[in-house]
A and B are shown apart, each in its own frame.
Chain A
């Protein structure tokens, strides 16, 4: 006999960063009016698109790699519970401790408790989307523990009391003069003669971070991958600051979304080719750190793995939406998205911006809390072509739009339009009536909302004297 436990819960409200405080169109309006932001985003996304495109073109089997990545992820989702139990067994056998967190609140409580038990009042952090998602830094601060972001861009965001706006390049919205100001204002012990020369800025961050690495005994990380059959965790990064955190402290706590597990070590071969080329446009990422439990006398002697659900089981429950969990957080979809390029990441509200955020966030929170996100796309399809694991984001957006609550007036208009279009004679009469109504509008500039949204920047076409079907009938 089986017991139905109900549908899996979505991510709880009041904690973490999966929800914005305004709708996408409203948030985007502000971003669109910021010329500095527009220029930064355009420059950064264009550069990374070019770089990524060049290294992808070098691989004759790129499309096969994408197919393989997609197939491995589909396999993982089909037997996720078994793989997670296997991972737990292997991590435990290797000397680690595995914790299961149903949501952000549980994960924050587990991590806070573990840090408190060490007696440390500070943790160093590896750049991690999962901990941004659950608002771990705020939870640690509330418990009197100071989290220090060690990824340069995350550090800029943290010191600026700001929010990340890109998955891979969280400070993409900042330029160097802004970064200088942030450092001068918030970085402990910074040289007041700091310039905005990038090497000078990097050196200032390095000096501050090195001291912190050497004097902090607890680190918190996320994970790019976890191998179920060996219990190995993996983090890929570019700066080496992640490796400092993963190797120097006594205690390492890793918070990982449950979808990150891979069945075998061999599967990494596919993802370590896909990820760097799709994300940073590198053939190989500079630092790949892998660890299996603890190694006596080498590296952290205490290792905790927190497996985070926070709505992921709810995503998994929807056959048409679950492939959003295949995402490897490469950001390729952000970098090719014409909407993201103009609105930036903050417009999406959630820590997951861009096309993948528009399909993932509403599923993690439930559609009602992120109802405007599935509409934040022209459905141009560039994201689908760019995705290294072939997530069909446009189709998923269409699927989620079908679940989203609709404004009453819009719904009435759409229902009426569909009824007319299913009756050819009525449709032909409506076509002629529309022509008459158009005369009153002077190229449509006097139209009421929502049609005024069209005519604010675009003229309406001249209405033809005759529809095609009337022309055809008269031939």
Chain B
């Protein structure tokens, strides 16, 4: 299958390993990945911080860059959620009915990574090998906006060598929330403190999730604590094999 890859601005800039892993994984599974160079950002940060007017060109850019493709994958439940639930709203709010309908059409072809694998490619065992103790944090937007359900866990359970341990209070927010992490930094940190306590209690070496943004926040906290626990994107686990 020919799959267009939306890397997200965050993975492109700060977490290229997550983006590279997505490409390696899909190519290993026999698919063709294309990366349209005109892509940048989905505009979620602007939309969620109250800058819809400024986000409009980014919404337009996403729709026009990805409209030519039948299947688009994004390694982020949050960006996928924004594309699906906010792009049409922003376009409509600015009176652009044409863009709204194009955004809705492209959004319907946009999949978060675990959705693409389980729903579209109909695969749960991706042939990965990852001999580490790992706990999975279901990010809020993947759970409650994109509604990926247990798909990431179904994929992780089929990874060979992995010691997957359950995260207590997993569905509680980690406290990232985009610019919330800065505007309400102390509340954000209080939420992160509880998330980190739960992560450390599992004895896991690594915490994984489907969003680089939440992982940047969780990983930044775990690093500051010198906890020894690291974060890794779901795609990096799924891309790992015995030979890698």
Contacts and interface: CB of A to CB of B under 8 A. Distances in A.
A394 B78 CA distance: 13
A458 B224 contact: yes
A453 B181 CA distance: 8
Nearest to B55: A418
Nearest to B89: A395
A141 interface: no
A467 B186 contact: no
Given A25-B183, A380-B140, A454-B182, A468 B49 contact: no
Interface stretch (B124-132, B157-165, B187-195): B187-195
B16 A380 contact: no
B38 to A, nearest CB: 5
B41 A421 contact: yes
Contacts of B191: 338-339, 342, 378
Given A376-B184, A398-B86, A461 B58 contact: no
B199 to A, nearest CB: 14
Interface stretch (A196-204, A279-287, A290-298, A401-409): A401-409
B177 A378 contact: yes
A460 B16 CA distance: 15
A338 B54 contact: no
A457 interface: yes
A466 B12 CA distance: 9
A467 B37 CA distance: 13
B178 A464 contact: no
Nearest to A385: B144
Contacts of A374: 50
Given A418-B57, A424-B37, A464 B14 contact: yes
B69 interface: no
Contacts of B172: 338
Interface stretch (B103-111, B112-120, B213-221, B236-244): B213-221
B37 A469 contact: yes
A377 B177 CA distance: 8
Interface of B is mostly: helix
B177 A451 contact: no
Given A398-B86, A427-B40, A459-B220, A422 B57 contact: yes
Question: Chain B: interface residue count, which band?
Answer: 35 or more
B183 A375 contact: yes
Contacts of A339: 184, 187, 191
Interface string B119-152: 0000000000000000000001101110000000
A417 B38 CA distance: 16
A380 B220 contact: no
Contacts of A401: 48-50
A353 to B, nearest CB: 13
A120 interface: no
Interface string A21-57: 0001100110010000010000000000000000000
Contact of B217 (A343, A458, A463): A458
B201 interface: no
Contact of B61 (A376, A422, A454): A422
Interface in A409-458: 410-411, 414-415, 417-418, 421-422, 424, 427, 431, 434, 450-451, 453-454, 456-458
B12 A414 contact: no
B37 A461 contact: no
A211 B156 CA distance: 64
B2 to A, nearest CB: 16
A431 B12 contact: yes
B143 to A, nearest CB: 8
B27 to A, nearest CB: 11
Interface string B15-36: 1110110010000000000010
A434 B10 CA distance: 12
Interface string A367-388: 0000000111111111011000
B145 to A, nearest CB: 6
Contacts of B183: 25, 375, 450, 453
Candidate in B46, B48, B58 with the most chain A CB atoms within 10 angstroms? B48
A116 B137 CA distance: 60
A175 to B, nearest CB: 20
A466 to B, nearest CB: 7
A472 interface: yes
A379 B178 contact: yes
A244 B190 CA distance: 42
Given A450-B182, A469-B35, A402 B51 contact: yes
A351 B49 CA distance: 25
A277 to B, nearest CB: 20
Given A424-B40, A454-B181, A469-B35, A461 B14 contact: yes
A381 B141 contact: yes
B197 interface: no
Contacts of A418: 43, 46, 51, 54-55, 57-58
B39 A342 contact: no
Contacts of A38: 190
B144 A464 contact: no
A471 interface: yes
A205 B19 CA distance: 62
A414 B182 CA distance: 14
Nearest to B191: A338
A323 B242 CA distance: 53
Interface in B198-244: 216-217, 219-221, 223-224
A468 B16 contact: yes
Contact of B221 (A28, A382, A457): A457
27 contacts: A342-B190, A375-B179, A377-B177, A378-B177, A379-B177, A381-B140, A381-B144, A381-B145, A401-B50, A404-B50, A414-B46, A415-B51, A418-B46, A418-B57, A418-B58, A421-B41, A422-B57, A450-B182, A451-B182, A456-B189, A458-B224, A460-B220, A467-B12, A467-B16, A468-B7, A469-B12, A473-B37
Interface of B: 7, 9, 11-17, 19-20, 23, 35, 37-41, 43, 45-52, 54-55, 57-58, 61, 85-86, 89, 140-141, 143-145, 171-173, 175-192, 216-217, 219-221, 223-224
Given A338-B172, A422-B57, A460-B220, 6 more contacts: A342-B191, A378-B140, A378-B188, A422-B58, A427-B9, A454-B220
**Chain A to chain B: the 3 pairs with minimum beta-carbon distance, closest first:** A378-B177, A458-B220, A401-B50
Interface of A: 24-25, 28-29, 32, 38, 338-339, 342-343, 374-382, 384-385, 394-395, 398, 401-404, 406, 410-411, 414-415, 417-418, 421-422, 424, 427, 431, 434, 450-451, 453-454, 456-461, 463-464, 466-469, 471-473
